[in-house]
Amino acid sequence: MTSAQAQETGSERTGIFPIEVAGVEVLCDWRGAAYVPNHRLLTISDLHFEKGSSFARRGSFVPPYDTHETLGRVARIVEDYDPAVVVCLGDSFHDDNGHDRIPDEIFKDIVRLEDGRDWCWISGNHDPSAPSKLPGFSADELAIGGLVFRHEPHADSAAGEISGHLHPAARIFRRGRTVRRTCFACDRNRLIMPAFGAFTGSLNVLAPAYESLFDWPRMQALLLGDRRIYPIPATHLVPDRSCVIKEKSRHRA
Amino acid sequence: MEQIPNLLQAPAHTLLPERFSNWFSGRGWTLREHQEKLLIEAAAGQSSLLIAPTGAGKTLAGFLPSLIDLSQRPKRKPGEPFRGVHTLYVSPLKALAVDIHRNLQMPVDEIGLKISLETRSGDTPVHKRQRQKLNPPDILLTTPEQLALLIASKEAGRFFAGLKYCIFDELHSLVTSKRGHLLALGLARLRSLQPEIQTIGLSATVADPQSLCRWLVPQITRNAKARLITVPGGVKPEIAILDSANRVPWSGHSARYAVSDIYRAILAHKTTLLFVNTRSQAELLFQELWRANDDNLPIALHHGSLDAGQRRRVEKAMEANSLRAVVATSTLDLGIDWGDVDLVIHVGAPKGASRLAQRIGRSNHRMDEPSKAILVPANRFEVLECRAALEASTAGAQDTPALLDGAIDVLAQHVLGTACAGPFHADELYGEITTAQPYSKLDRKTFDRVIEFVATGGYALKTYERYARIRKTSDGRWRISNPRVAQQYRLNVGTIIEAPMLNVRLTRQRGKGGNVRGGPVLGKIEETFLEALSPGDTFLFAGKVLRFEGIRENECYASSAPGVDAKVPYYAGGKFPLSTYLADTVRKMLAEPGRWQSLPPQVSGWLKLQQQFSALPARDELLVETFPRAERYYMVMYPFEGRLAHQTLGMLLTRRLERAGARPLGFVATDYALSVWALRDIGRMFRSGEYPLRELLDEDMLGDDLEAWLAESWLLKRTFRNCALIAGLIEKRHPGKEKTGRQMTVSADLIYDVLRSHEPDHILLQATRTDAAAGLLDVRRLAEMLSRIPDRIVHKDLNEISPLAVPVMLEIGKESVVGSANDALLEELVMEMDELVGSQ
C-alpha cells in the first residue's frame, strides 16, 4: 500500500486522526498506534509482553493471556496498514527475561508478523537488552526523516521526537462526571504514544512528569474512544487529583 | 437427648449456681424464661438461637451458660501452663465488642468470678495481640475478620483447644453478607478443631428464623438445626409519621422542611436518636439542627467516616446521658445499648419493615414500656413508604432478606487461610466446608476449581504451575509454597471492600505561597468525591462546613468555612433497596383510595390529582406514562422495585429503544419510578404499533440484552473488582503504599477485559455474574416484575407531565446517568470546541 492509498482508506476509516510532528504527517489510530505515511512506518509503544507471568512470579495470578491479547491487537493493525517498518518504542517486554517466557506459539506468531518488513525493537527501561531470539534489529533510538524514535522522552530534545514510557492518559470533568482515557499526548514538536499492552496502566498528562515536555499552549491530548479519537486541548483537562499541594521548598523561609 | 425432659422438670436453681442466683436476687431480678430455656438447652449440649427484642436481657442470656461453666471450672493447676479460649464472642462491629465487654464485666465482677475478658480487633495493639496468643483470655470478644486471622495461624489448634462456646451477636445482620460466609467457614474450622463446641446465636426478629438455626450447627444431617428460643415482642412501639405544617417536597432526601418539627421533638424528650440512611444525610441534618439549635442543646453526630476518637467521645457522652440528640447512620444501628434514649426519629425512607423495627428498638430498653418513634419522610413518595412501614410494624411483618449461597471468592480466601494454618487434605476440607450452612450445597467440582484458583489462578492455560501459591505434596496434602504467601494472606483478609478514602485534615486557609499546615484529622472521605472538587469548593463534613484546599500525599486538606453554605452537595444514594414487602404495600395503598385518608392531605391531594390527570395503577399493574417536554419525549414508569432494579431496567430499556430507533438520551431511576427520555415520540411509537409497549417490556430482555449489556457494564467491572480483591487475585490497597502508583499494579478493569475475551467461564467471572445478579442489578426482582405484568400494563399517553411523575423528573440532572456511554460526554466537549473555533 502506498502512503497515498493509506491516507485514502484512512479517511474512510473512522478513528484516525492526522497530526503533524515537526512538520511530518502522523496518523494517530484509535487503537493506540501511529502511522507515518511518508515512510510507511507504524509505531507502537509499551507492549509489556508477559506482564501477566511477571506478576505470577510474585504470586499474583493475573490472567496469562495478556501477551496473546496484545499481540492480536498488534497483528490486526499491522494487517490494516501493511507497513514497511514497524517500530516498537520500548518496554515491549515487561521484564528483561520476558521474551524467554513467551509461549512457543506466540513466539512463532511474532516471527510471522515480522516477516517481509523491517522491525525495530527500541530498548526500554523494562527491557534494556535486545530480544535476542526474535528477528528484527534493536536500537536505543532511531532517526528517520526528521523524526526520532526513542523510549523515554527527552526534555531538551529537538523537534520530531516520538516516544512512549509515560503511558499518557487524560481526564475531563463535565457535569459532575469524569471520563478518563488513555491518549496520545502531543504538541507540534513531540508525540508521546499511549501504552499499547493489555495490562498497562496510565499516568495523567497533567502529572509533573510531563511538565517540561510540552509547549503547553499547544499541547493536546487525543483520547482513545470507540472507533474515534477525541482531541482535547490541555486547557480542558483535569488532573487525577484536582489539586496537588506542592511541598513548600525547604530552602525558602 | 433423653436428658431433656428431666432437665425441663428440674427447677431453675439447679441450673443456676448459688452465686449466680444470689446475684440475681440481689439485683431484684429473677431468671427470665428465655434465659432459663437457654440454660436448659446448653446443659443438654444443644446449640440455640435466641430471638429477642432489645431490652430482653439477650446478651446476659447468651453468656450465662458460659459464665456458669467457667465458674465451675477447676482452678488452673500449678504447672498447667496454658489454657485456650473458653468462649468466643463474635459481633459485626468493633464497637459492639467493646460495649459488651463493658456490660459483661459488671456481672463478672459483682458475682466475683475469676474470668478474664478481652477484646481483639484491628485496633488492638500488636503487643496485646501477641500476648493474647500466648496467654488467651477465657472470653474473647472479636469480629469475623479477626477470627479468620486467628484460625489462619499455625497456633490456632492450641489457641482454641479449650473452646466450648461460640456466641454470635446480631446474627441476622451478619448472615446476609459475605462477612457471614467467611464467619460460617470459620465456624466450620473451629468445629474441626473442637467438635463439641456449642453455638449460641443472638438475633433480632427475622422473616425466616429456621435458616439461622441451620447456620448455627453443622449441616451433616438433613434438618440439623439449633433450638429456637423466641422471646415475644414487648409492648408494640408507638410510631407516628411526622405531621408537619410545612410543605412536603416532591423529591430530595434532606427533609429540611421538617427541621423545626424535629427540633421541637428533641426539646420535648430526654434523649433522641436520629437515624438517617446515608452519611451525607447525617451531615446535612446535623448542620440544619445546629442552625435551629437556639437553646444550645448538646447534639452530636456519629457516622462511620468520622475519626475514631471523635466517635468514641460521642459514645461516651451518650453513655453518660449528657447528650440530648445524636444524628447517626447505621453505625449505631446494631444492639449497642447507650443511655436512656426515649425517642427515635427516623429521617428518610425506612426501606424495610424489619430494618425500621430494629432501629426503633434502640429507644427505651424496657420491655414493658412502648418504644416511641417518629418517621420523617423526606419527600412525598416517602410518605407512602413510611405509612407502609408503619402498617407493617403494627402487623409485626418481617422482610429481612433471605440467605444466599456462600460466595466463591470468600471460599477462595478461606482455602488460602486454611493452608496458612497448616497443610490440608482436599477431601477433608471439602467435608468441613460443606458443614457450613452457606456452602452445604457446594459441589465438589466447584470446590476443586476453587483450589486450582488458589494454587495457580485456575486458568485453562496452565502456565503458572511453577509459581503456585499452594502445592500438593507427596503426602497428598496442600501446603503453602513459601511463608510470603501467609503474609500476603494476612494483609488481604476480610470481605469488606471500602472505596479508597483519604483523611480529611483541618487546616488553616491556604496562604499566598500555597503553604498549608497540618491540623487535626476529622475523618475519612471517598477519593472519588474529592476528585470532583476544586480548591475553594465548600462541602459538609464532620458537622462543619469545610473549604477544600487540596490534596497532599494521602490527605485532603480543608479549612473551616463557618457561616457559608456548603456548595457541593453529596448524595451517594440510598444504600438499601426498598424491600419487596414495603413496595407491595405501597402499590396496594396507591390502588385503594379508601386508604388515603390516613395520609397527610397534601399527599392524598396529590394522588387524587394524579387519578384525575392520568391514572393510578392497580396493585398488580404497571403504569407507563409518556409525554413531551422541552423538545424531548419522556417515558415514566412506576414499578416500585427499588433503585437497583430500576437502574438495570433503565439500561435494558435504553438499549431496546435505541434499537427501535427511538433515539433515547438517558434515564434516571429512583426507588419508585424510572424515567427515560428520547428524541423521538415514544408514546406515538407505542400508540401507532410501530413499537408496542409489550414488546419493549418483554421478559426476553433478561436474556441476550442483559448479557450484552452486562459484559460492558461498569457495574459488573466493579463487582469483579470486589470478587478479585476478596479472592486474592489482586491485592488490597494499603494506606501508605499507594505511592507505588497505578503503573505497578494491573487494574481490575484490564484483567476483566482480558479474562472475558479469553476465558469467559473462569470461576471468578462466574462468581462475579452471580454476585451482580443478586446484588447490584437485582435481576431476580426485575424478572419477577416482568413475568407479573405482561397483560397488566397501563399506558397513558399524556400531553404533559403527570403529578406522579414530578418527583422522578426532578431527579434528572441531580443524579448522574449511571453507565451511559462516557463517549457521549467526550463527544459533547469536542463539539462545543468545534463550535467555538467555528465562531471565531
- Of B291, B272, B280, B407, nearest in space to B345 by CA: B272
pTM for the full model? 0.85
Do A223 and B467 count as a contact with CB atoms less than 8 A apart? no
The whole-angstrom separation of Cα B545 and Cα B559 is 9
Reply yes or no on whether the pLDDT at B29 is more than 50: yes
Q: What are phi and psi of B141, to 5 degrees?
A: -105, 120
Least confident of B399-413, B464-478, B803-817: B803-817
Across the interface, of A64, A65, A201, the residue whose CB is closest to B747 is A201
Pick from A175, A203, A246: which is nearest to B514 by CB? A246
Distance CA B678, CA B748 (A): 34
Checking if the pLDDT of A177 tops 80, the result is no
Hey, are the CB atoms on A244 and B551 less than 8 Å from each other?
yes
For residues B529-538, average pLDDT: 74
CB contacts of A177 in chain B (<8 Å) are 816, 822, 825
List residues bridging with B382 in a β-sheet: none
Please state the rounded mean pLDDT for residues B110-136.
90
What confidence score (pLDDT) does residue A186 get?
A: 96
CA dihedral A5, A8, A9, A12 (to 10 degrees): 180
Nearest to A226 by CA among B827, B224, B721: B827
Using a CB–CB cutoff of 8 Å, tell me whether B724 touches chain A: no
Write down the mean pLDDT value for chain A.
87
Whether B457 contacts chain A with CB within 8 A? yes
CB environment B443-462: b (16+ within 10 A), e (fewer): eeeebebbbebbbbbbbeee
| A20: β partners | A25
pLDDT at B111: 93
Write out chain B residues lying below 8 Å of A56, CB-based. Answer: 456-457, 463-464, 467
Place of cell 499474583: A60
Helix spans in B1-57 (H): 3-9, 12-15, 18-26, 33-43
Q: Residues B285-296: what's their mean pLDDT? A: 91
Q: Which residue does chain B place closest to A253, by CA atoms?
A: B513
**Any idea what DSSP says for residue B771?**
H
Out of B53-62, B296-305, B496-505, give the one with best mean pLDDT: B296-305
Render B57-124 in DSSP notation, one character per residue: -HHHHHHHHHHHHHHTSPPPPTT------SEEEE-S-HHHHHHHHHHHHHHHHHHT----EEEE-TTS
**DSSP letters along B606-655, please?**
HHHHHHHHS----TT-EEEEEEEETTEEEEEE---S-HHHHHHHHHHHHH
Residues with Cβ within 8 Å of residue B577, at least 6 apart in sequence? B351, B642, B643, B644, B645, B671, B778
CB contact under 8 A, B825 and A174: yes
pLDDT tens digits, one per residue of A184-226: 999 999 999 999 999 998 999 999 999 999 999 999 999 998 8
Mark yes or no for CB contact B459/A60 under 8 Å.
no
Q: Which three cell numbers stand for residue B628?
A: 413531551
Task: Provide the shortest C-alpha distance from residue B757 to chain A (in Å).
Answer: 9
Percent of chain B with pLDDT over 70: 88
Identity of the residue numbered B661: G
More confident residue, B813 or B653: B653
Q: How far apart are the first and last CA of chain A?
A: 64
- Which residue in chain A is spatially nearest to B464 when comparing CA positions? A56
Note whether B459 contacts A63, CB cutoff 8 Å.
yes
Residue predicted with more confidence, B79 or B400: B400
Grid coordinates belonging to B503: 483523611
Task: Considering only the beta carbons, identify the residue of B513, B548, B751 that sits closest to A248.
Answer: B513
SS3 content of chain B, % helix, strand, coil (to 5): 45, 15, 40
* Set of chain A residues whose Cβ sits within 8 Å of the Cβ of B483: none
Q: Do A64 and B750 touch (CB under 8 A)?
A: no
How is A123-158 classified by DSSP, letter by letter? --SS--S--TTSSSEEESEEEETTEEEESSPPTTPP
Closest approach of A64 to chain B, Cα-based (Å): 7
Residue B308 touches chain A, beta carbons under 8 Å = no
Q: Which residues of B touch A229 (CB under 8 A)?
A: none
Label residue A174 by pLDDT band (50, 70, 90). Answer: confident
User: Which B residues 788-827 touch A at CB under 8 Å?
Assistant: 816, 822-823, 825-827
User: Cβ separation of B822 and A177 shorter than 8 Å?
Assistant: yes
On whether the CB atoms of residues B525 and B501 are closer than 8 A, the answer is yes
Residue A59 to residue B485, Cβ atoms within 8 A: yes
B514 to A248: CB separation less than 8 angstroms, yes or no = yes
Query: pLDDT tens across B39-91, in order?
Result: 999 999 999 999 987 666 788 899 999 999 999 988 777 777 678 899 999 98
Nearest-CB residue to A177 (from B469, B552, B816): B816
B513: chain A residues, CB-CB within 8 Å: 248, 252
Determine the residue among A30, A46, A57, A65 to mutate to test chain B binding: the one whose Cβ has the most chain B Cβ atoms within 10 Å.
A65
Residues of B within 8 A of A233 (CB-CB) are 833
pLDDT at B8 over 60: no
DSSP 8-state class, residue B700: G
pLDDT in tens, B720-752: 988 999 999 988 765 444 444 443 568 888 999
- The enclosing H or E element of B491 equals helix B483-492
C-alpha to C-alpha distance for B117 and B99, rounded to whole angstroms: 12
B674 strand-pairing partners:
B637, B669
CA pseudo-torsion sign A143, A146, A151, A154: positive
| pLDDT tens-digit readout, B161-207 | 999 999 999 899 889 889 999 999 999 999 999 999 999 999 988 88
Instruction: Return the C-alpha cell found at B837.
Output: 473555533
Q: Do B826 and A62 touch (CB under 8 A)?
A: no
CB nearest B826 (choices: A175, A198, A223): A223
| pLDDT number for residue B688 | 94
User: Across the interface, do B729 and A62 touch by the CB < 8 Å criterion?
Assistant: yes
Average pLDDT taken over every residue of chain B: 85
* Interface size, chain A vs chain B, as Cβ–Cβ contacts under 8 Å: 156
